[in-house]
Amino acid sequence: MFKEKSKAKKITIIILILLLSVFSIGLYKYLTKPEFVEQVSLLEELNSAKTDEEKSATVEKMLVHLEQRLLKNPDDAESWLILTNSYTTLERHDDALRAIENLYRIKGKEPSIMFRYADIMSMVNNGRFKGKPTELIDEALRLDPTNNNGLWLAGLAAIQHGDIKKALKHWQQLHGQFDDDPESQQKIKHYIDLARDQIVEKNTEAVSNIALQINVSLSGSLLNETNGNDDVFIYANAIDGSLMPLAILRKKVSELPIQVTLDDSMALISTNKLSDHKQVQLIARISKSGNTKSTPGDLIGTLNLVPTNIYLPVKLIISDIIQ
């Protein structure tokens, strides 16, 4: 959640700089071709835009123009890569997934693309790697067993599958490949230490009986601010300020009001679950963009310091707009 508007503006500027760099590289080889004159014109429009709103609008025009061009040439791998990078930067994960799927269709089994495909797929799936993302990671890692991104993702996938020893093996190998990068080594070591602590603490984990039942509804005053297809993310956060949810579900506005259950089976990381906390923060957020990350304009409801051992349903009303 953004705490101040200045931070949001900084993020917007960073996004625009990245997009400009990507588009400039992607268009360089085509500058002499008539069909790309409009795209060059849009680049000039972006450079002359004075406000964040004007820049964002121009970026959207550029993306639409690129999408239209791909309708005529769907096997243009470079353009699909540009769209993948752009939509990922904008956190439009569903669009990024569509773009990387086409890139994978064209390029086939290139490990770097397969790792990227798995990563984006997990973003769309609330951070989960189970299923096809794990299959892609395993296959790509067989083709490129020392790939840094692959070893990192393989470790995350192993953690979610409860195989802490396998995650430790991948991250230890990754750690050894950063001898000339102490900062990266330190970050990886932090996760290695967490995995080791978990192995020492217990080799097997008992199934938790903790299950939070939540009745989620939308305040009548906000009915006109949504439509039935908007995504509703319902999740539990640790009260220590950790960014990754302890458990998360995705529903639609059309399903409200609804009663849901959050439990340990929904943990994104097996070493940090509902049952590891005595109290949590519960949030229900309607995303206008479909992104898992909150943005201004989203609708939200929050309950703080909810005991995890409570057995009666709790009421969570979506009643505020994120500014």
Kindly report the average pLDDT of the chain as a whole number: 81
- The fraction of the chain above a pLDDT of 70, given in percent, is 80
**Residue-range domain boundaries for the chain:** 5-201, 211-321
pLDDT (0 to 100) of residue 265 = 84
pLDDT at site 52: 66
pLDDT of the residue at 207: 42
SS3 labels along 150-189: HHHHHHHHHHHCCCHHHHHHHHHHHHCCCCCCHHHHHHHH
| pLDDT at res. 159 | 87
From residue 24, alpha-carbon distances to 16, 18, 277, 278 in Å are 12, 10, 48, 51
Positions in the chain whose pLDDT score sits under 70: 1-52, 55, 200-209, 311
Give per-residue pLDDT as tens, 172-188.
999 988 888 888 889 89
User: What's the pLDDT score for residue 48?
Assistant: 61
What is the pLDDT at residue 149? Answer: 94
Q: What is the pLDDT of residue 293?
A: 81
**Architecture label for domain 5-201:** Alpha Horseshoe (1.25)
Q: Which two tokens stand for residue 86?
A: 């752009």
Measure the CA–CA gap between 271 and 202, rounded to whole angstroms: 11
CA nearest to 95, candidates 73, 116, 67: 67
pLDDT at 3: 33
Instruction: Return the pLDDT at 46.
Output: 54
User: Is-contact 40 24, C-beta < 8 A?
Assistant: no
Please count the other Cβ atoms lying within 10 Å of the Cβ belonging to residue 286: 25
Rg of the chain (C-alpha set): 22
pLDDT of residue 165: 87
Q: Residue 39's pLDDT is what?
A: 52
Burial 240-279 (b: 16+ CB within 10 A, else e): eeeeebbbbbebebeebebebebbbebbbbbbbbbbebee
The pLDDT tens digits for 148-163 are 999 999 999 998 888 8
233, 292 in Cβ contact below 8 A? yes
- Chain center to CA of 115: 14
